[in-house]
Structure 1
Amino acid sequence: MYTTVPKPSSKPTVCVCCARLEMTTSANPQPASRDDPSLRRAVVLELIRLHAGMLLRLPWVLLFMACGIGWLIHAHVVVSSWVAWAGGTVAAECLRAAYAKRVLQHIHRLDPDKVHSRLTWLAACAGGMVGLCPVLFLRFMPIADQAVLVIVLFATPAAGVSVAVSSRQILAAYSLLILAPCGLSWIMLYPQHTGPASALTALYWLFILGVAGDGEHLLRRAVLIRNQRDQTLQDLERRNADVQAAMERAEQSSQARDRVLAAASHDLRQPLHALSVYSAILVARPSQEVLPEIAQNIDKLVRNLGGLLHGLLDLSRLSAGHYAVDRQRVSLDRLAEDICREFDAQAADKDLTLRRDLQHVRLYDDPLVIGRIVRNLLDNAIKYTDHGHVGVQTCKTGSRAVLAITDTGRGIPQSEQDRIFEEFYQLGNPGRDYGRGVGLGLAIVKRLCDLIGADIGLVSQPGRGTRFEILFDSRDDGPHRYTGTATANLNSLRGKSVYLVDDETDILHAMNLLLKSWGLKVRTAASIVAAEALFEQHGKPDWLIADLRLGEPEDGLSMASRLRQIHGYFPVLIITGDRAPEQFQTFAASGFRLLQKPIVAEKLAGKLLFMHDSRVA
């Protein structure tokens, strides 16, 4: 099974105080504009929902009203004409009710404006059927019955105010087609009442429209208040979820920190205890036969301590977001080949074959980050493979560059494949044997992949091996170039000149011995004045190696920049133990190479070789 390791959530940590402030702010939103399309749509939808609900009951109301009118007029009109009118009126209301039922079932999929228009037309039809009553029957009735019928018909639009549910458009169509025929029929029977009847009918129609307008305004405000309430509840739920997530992340971070500190404390004590024992042996003046073994073991212990310290510092930088990315054009296959050469001897010591299948792939990314990823994965693969081979593959698939590290080692159970990226987590090492590493390699790989936006996945089967795949963005449009041409042969450095500047005498002496052992011509300076004297007497070197902190107002970075301005270009390597983010930004702007303490000889050699080969290229 192929496991893709998820990226961490990019959601920022939420301060509880800020969350409360934001919740308070969002709980009092600004009133929406009258012309706000979303508000208008919400109002129309609510109006349609309420109106359709009323229409479902209206056929029964009209049936009872038609029966009452029939009882009033049956002695004066032909019954068949009343039956036809009553049937048409109830049928019109049934049609409205049927459409209303369909609307309620599919209200969120329908266009509110179209539905509102159709409801208006249906209201006009229903009002027209009711309005036929005085046209058909009023002239056949005695004056007393006429008055009763007119009262009933004029009251019908008033009831329509509640049925229309604040829609002036629906009420206007419905009431006009009732009041107009009723008023005209009365005027035709009693022409002497033309003026008063017309005026009173018009005033009554305008009045009920005004009442409907007030209801529409109230409905708009009710919808707005409801929307604000819903929005406030959503904001509260979202903020509560953010705060809860922040608290969970803080708890997880606290647990991870406790776990890291506990494991680091244990892993530091073991080599320190061994060093104290070897120190006691050296004080006791051992025989010459055991000195090489002691020296070899001390070197191994120091490397383990340095690896642990480097891992902890890298994790700290990555967790705090202080790891500066320096993207360049990278030849992934050549970079992988160079790193494979570094591990050939380590693989040979275990009788493993280190296979390469390196297709030419170029991308724009940070070569140091990619190199760290490859080294950690290769080191793990060789460490946990007892027989067979370890393979490195580069290729391109679609728009992604692929780096794969495979082995025929012990494999990783499915249940453990997520946990292997945790700090200090190791399979099969419950006793914390520091000779088998400290369990930071894959944690750093995961965070470095997250840093540069690469995806990491793995497929593994216990007893058969593991395959890690890193997918990079394969775009190649960077202004710089790194081709991976650095060679592991220190012979190319012989005879080159190095100026070494450090205010610590012990470090200066040790570095001098190390560089001279590689065949370099080393000149040392314990101060900035002494360094300036070297440039005046001997000219510029092939490399300048300077400590950042020189115990003077001017640091190594400023000194190197000033000397470059005076004497021209020369490669500069700055050594520092400083982890402040502003320092990394300064280094990135200066273009100087950086090496962080504690120094490992292989890394120092790699830096010098890289700077040398880059200059030659």
Structure 2
Amino acid sequence: MTVDTEKVYDPERGQAWVRLLVSGTAMIYVLAVFFSANATEETTRLILYFIPVFMIVSLLLLGDVIQRPGVKPARRLFAMLLDYFSITLSMYLGGEAMLPVYGAVLWVTVGNGVRYGSFYLAIATAMALLSLLILYQFSPYLHEEPYLLATLLITTLVVPAYVNSLLAQSRRANEAERAANQAKSQFLAQASHDLRQPIHSIGLFTACLRDADLAPAQRQMVDSIDKSLHSVAQLFRSILDMYTLDGGRVTPRAEVVCLSELLTSVAQQNSEAARWAGVSIRVRAPRQHVLVDPGLLTTMVQNLLSNALKYASGRPVLIGCRRRAGTFAIEVYDRGRGIEPQHIANVFDEFYRVRQVRDNDIEGVGLGLAIVRRLARLMGLEVRMRSQVGKGTTVAIEGLLPVRPTAEERSVSSRQASGSPRMLDGLRVCLIEDDRSVLLATATLLRKWGCLVQTSLSIPQGDGGDFDLVITDFDLGREASGADCIQYLRELSGQRIPAIVVTGHEVKRVQEAVDDPDIPVLSKPLHPAELRSTLVALKAGLLPGR
């Protein structure tokens, strides 16, 4: 799927359009002056010939800029010469009545400096001074008004000099801003990686504890840990999602996705959070396939469901689908307190939260719906909200395009849907992770699911044929990456072993490094249900074909 991005601003195109606008206005004044001042027939004829020539050349310049965008110094100099020549000729032929056209001199000079930089500002200033000196040589009225000439020359020097100082300050400010943004990006990238690891491992350990034979008091403590961790992970993901969107590093990758499977998976991943909130989640969705980025759509539905769990605790939530004008919409219904009409227009703004008097302290910072709206725009979808105070809220994601899955996609989907709870029994997994805590937590969880796990802190040495699937962290120190491990093991075994990459870095960057669309890249902190569903998908769809 292609994504529309903002067009890069072309200063030459802007200058060319403004030239037509300003010169067109100036020409009207020029014609009015010449006809009202009873100019000679020869002078009037010259002006009437020159104006269309100037406009035609200006249009040709605009066309050339559109056809050949980019920095073209010769074209810029030609355009500047055209402007100054035209202004000088008009002021010479019109005499004193054309002195207001001097404003165009300042526009051309300052405009070139602001659009192209200090170098072109200096050239434009020199051309402007030269134009005034030429005008002085041939215009009697300037000989009679030396102070007027001095005023024009001083203005032509002072104004560009001041503009140049402003440009220098602007450059310094922009450089400082870029340096600050780069430092912020580096800090957030490192902090996100370092924070993901402990959150990821704690989540896996609590998932292991949940399946253990615990006393009621111990199970309640595990619930409390898991609930707190869930809140931290949700906040952490929201902040990182917004940071990634701000950086323009999100590019949708459209795939054929079954709506019922995606929505059921989201509901299952939030089953514990729903239990804590006293909410029953119901999914009513057809086995309709749509073309969409499954990861981004999952994030959108996840955020809508999280909001429903926060603001409609103790009441049921329904996730459904509706066909609309040849497309499908996903709708999340809750029976919460609803939103007052004056808040509807603002709830999708960043950090906006609807608070009421004596309101309970609700977790979050107000980024969930903002992320939903921005992801929707990125994928060409629409988000609509309806709400009634005291009756509940409905949020719809509209514009999903239906598609017909291939026979292979239907087969894989069917096997996934019919998978038993013990579908992973006997699956031989090679687990590679350089963090011992994460390695232990992941291996323990996989073994509880029935997998046979071989663990390693780096690239395992052997014949490469003792496992069915590879799960590897992407960052394995300085010697190798997860992509290197997968390539090495595939070459060693002579088979295209299915693999999963788990990372604490930006998913897009890791996907580019892995450069294999068949290898899922999962982001830490990873929900156990997400890992399990990915394993089931790989076993159902890929392993039988090896």
Q: TM-score, normalised by structure 1?
A: 0.54
Confirm or deny that 1:382 pairs with 2:313.
no
| 3-state SS of 2:243 partner | helix
Say which SS state the counterpart of residue 347 (structure 2) adopts.
helix
- Aligned partner of 1:519 among 442, 446, 450: 450
**2:59 aligned residue:** none
**Equivalent-residue separation in structure 1 for 2:336 and 2:327 (angstroms):** 27
Deviation of residue 444 (structure 1)?
A: 2.5
Residues 71-117 of structure 1: CA distance to partner in whole angstroms, max 9, x if unpaired? xxxxxxxxxxxxxxxxxxxxxxxxxxxxxxxxxxxxxxxxxxxxxxx
Matched, 1:325 2:157: no
Residue aligning to 2:535: 608
- C-alpha separation in 2, matches of 1:10 and 1:362: 27
Partner of residue 451, structure 1: 378
SS of alignment partner, residue 419 of structure 1: coil
Aligned residue identity for 2:467: P
Matched letter for residue 228 of structure 2: L
**Is 2:485 the counterpart of 1:556?**
no
What code does the residue aligned with 1:336 have?
A: L
SS in 1 for 2:476: coil
Instruction: Report how far residue 545 of structure 1 moved.
Output: 0.8
> What is the distance in 2 between the residues matched to 1:470 and 1:13?
30
Indicate how the Cα distance of structure 1 residues 542 and 340 shifts in structure 2: closer, same or farther if over 3 A, else same: same
Larger Rg: 1
Change (3 A) 1:524 1:434: farther
Deviation at 1:566, TM superposition (A): 3.7
Q: Distance between the aligned counterparts of 1:598 and 1:579, measured in 2?
A: 12
CA distance in structure 2 between the aligned counterparts of 1:457 and 1:447, rounded to whole angstroms: 13
Amino acid paired to 2:48: E
**1:579 aligned to 2:484?**
no
Hey, what's the Cα distance between the residues in 2 that align with 1:553 and 1:323?
28
Structure 1 residue 302 corresponds to structure 2 residue 229: yes
* CA distance in 2 between partners of 1:582 and 1:556 (Å): 13
State the alpha-carbon separation in 2 of the partners of residues 607 and 228 from structure 1.
67
In the alignment, structure 1 residue 412 sits paired with structure 2 residue 328: no
Q: Which ranges in structure 1 are unaligned for 5 or more consecutive residues?
A: 1-8, 33-37, 55-160, 167-207, 276-287
- Could you say if the C-alpha distance between residues 319 and 610 of structure 1 is closer, same or farther in structure 2, counting changes exceeding 3 Å? farther
Alpha-carbon deviation of 1:28? 10
Change (3 A) 1:414 1:578: same
Aligned partner of 1:427 in structure 2 is: 354
Contact kept? 1:361, 1:396, Cα under 8 Å:
no
**How far apart are the structure 2 equivalents of 1:409 and 1:604?**
31
SS at match of 1:598: coil
Maintained 8 Å contact 1:331/1:361: yes
1:367 matched to 2:294: yes
**Which SS does the other structure have where 2:323 is aligned?**
strand
Cα deviation 1:144-196 (Å, max 9, x = unaligned): xxxxxxxxxxxxxxxxx95xx88xxxxxxxxxxxxxxxxxxxxxxxxxxxxxx
**Aligned residue in 1 for 2:48:** 216
Whether the 8 Å contact between 1:43 and 1:220 is mirrored in structure 2 is no
Q: Who is 1:85 aligned against?
A: none
**Distance in 1 (alpha carbons) for counterparts of 2:474 and 2:29:** 70
Q: Normalized against structure 2, the TM-score is what?
A: 0.60
> Is the 8 Å Cα contact of residues 289 and 405 (structure 2) preserved in structure 1?
no
| Partner secondary structure for residue 299 of structure 1 | helix
Any idea what the Cα deviations from partners look like across 1:328-369, whole Å, max 9, x if unmatched?
122334422443455567657766554444345433221111
Match of 2:322 among 381, 390, 395: 395
The answer to whether the 8 Å contact 2:474/2:510 transfers is no
CA contact (8 A) 1:304 1:434 kept: no
Give deviations 1:241-275, integer Å, cap 9, x for gaps: xx9xx99xx9xx99xx9xxx9xx9xxx9xxx9xx9
Q: CA RMSD in A?
A: 5.1
SS in 2 for 1:463: coil
1:310 is matched by which residue type in structure 2? Answer: R
Give the conservation status (yes or no) of the 8 Å contact 1:357–1:394: yes
Q: Corresponding residue for 1:155?
A: none
What is the Cα deviation at residue 455 of structure 1? 1.4
| Paired residue type of 1:390 | V
Task: Please state how far the C-alpha of 1:560 moved relative to its aligned partner.
Answer: 0.3
Deviation, 1:387, is: 5.7
Partner of 1:312, secondary structure, is: helix
Q: Distance in 2 between matches of 1:532 and 1:353?
A: 48
Contact 2:318 2:333 in 1 (8 A): yes
The reply on whether 1:498 has 2:429 as its aligned counterpart is: yes
Would you say the 8 A contact 1:350–1:386 is kept in 2? yes
Distance in 1 between residues matched to 2:473 and 2:299, nearest whole Å? 23
Q: 1:532 aligns with which of 454, 457, 461?
A: 461
Letter matched to residue 554 of structure 1: A
Residues 323, 602 of structure 1: alpha-carbon distance in 2 compared, 3 angstrom cutoff? same
Contact 1:399 1:473 in 2 (8 A): no
Gaps of 5+ in 2: 56-85, 88-100, 116-162, 164-169, 203-214
Query: SS at the partner of 2:423?
Result: helix
Residue identity in the other structure for 2:369? L
Which residue of structure 1 aligns with residue 143 of structure 2?
Answer: none
CA distance in 2, matches of 1:402, 1:544: 36
* Aligned partner of residue 307 in structure 1, secondary structure: helix
Whole-Å Cα distance in 1 between the matches of residues 525 and 276 of structure 2? 26
Displacement, 1:573?
Answer: 0.9
Structure 1 distance, partners of 2:437, 2:313, is: 41
Question: How far apart are 1:293 and its partner, in Å?
Answer: 3.5
1:161-172 equivalent positions in 2, closer than 5 A: 162=38
Amino acid at match of 1:518: W
- Superposed displacement of residue 308, structure 1: 2.2
Q: 1:227 to 1:397 in 2, by over 3 A?
A: farther
| Deviation for aligned residue 1:457 | 1.5
CA shift in 2, pair 1:357/1:547, >3 Å: closer
Q: C-alpha separation between the residues in 1 aligned to 2:18 and 2:311?
A: 60
The letter for the 1-side match of 2:424 is L
- The answer for the alignment partner of 1:507 in structure 2 is 438
Conserved 8 A contact 1:377-1:405: yes
Q: 1:520 to 1:566 in 2, by over 3 A?
A: same
Shift of residue 500, structure 1, vs aligned partner: 0.8
From the superposition, tell whether residues 491 and 228 of structure 1 become closer, same or farther in structure 2 (CA, over 3 Å): farther
How far has the Cα of 1:416 moved from its partner? 2.1
Deviations along 1:453-493, one digit per CA (max 9) or x if unpaired, are 22112111221111111123516499995876645854211
Q: Deviations over 1:278-312 (max 9, x none)?
A: xxxxxxxxxx8854443332232223222222222
Deviation per CA, 1:531-573: give whole Å up to 9, x if none.
232x44xx25232111212235222211202322342122211
1:335 to 262, 266, 270: 262
Paired residues in the alignment total 408
1:575 and 1:594 in contact (8 A); partners too: yes
Matches within 5 A, 1:340-351: 340-343=267-270
**Matched-pair contact (CA < 8 Å) for 1:409–1:465:** yes
Q: Conserved in 2, the CA contact under 8 Å of 1:548 and 1:555?
A: yes
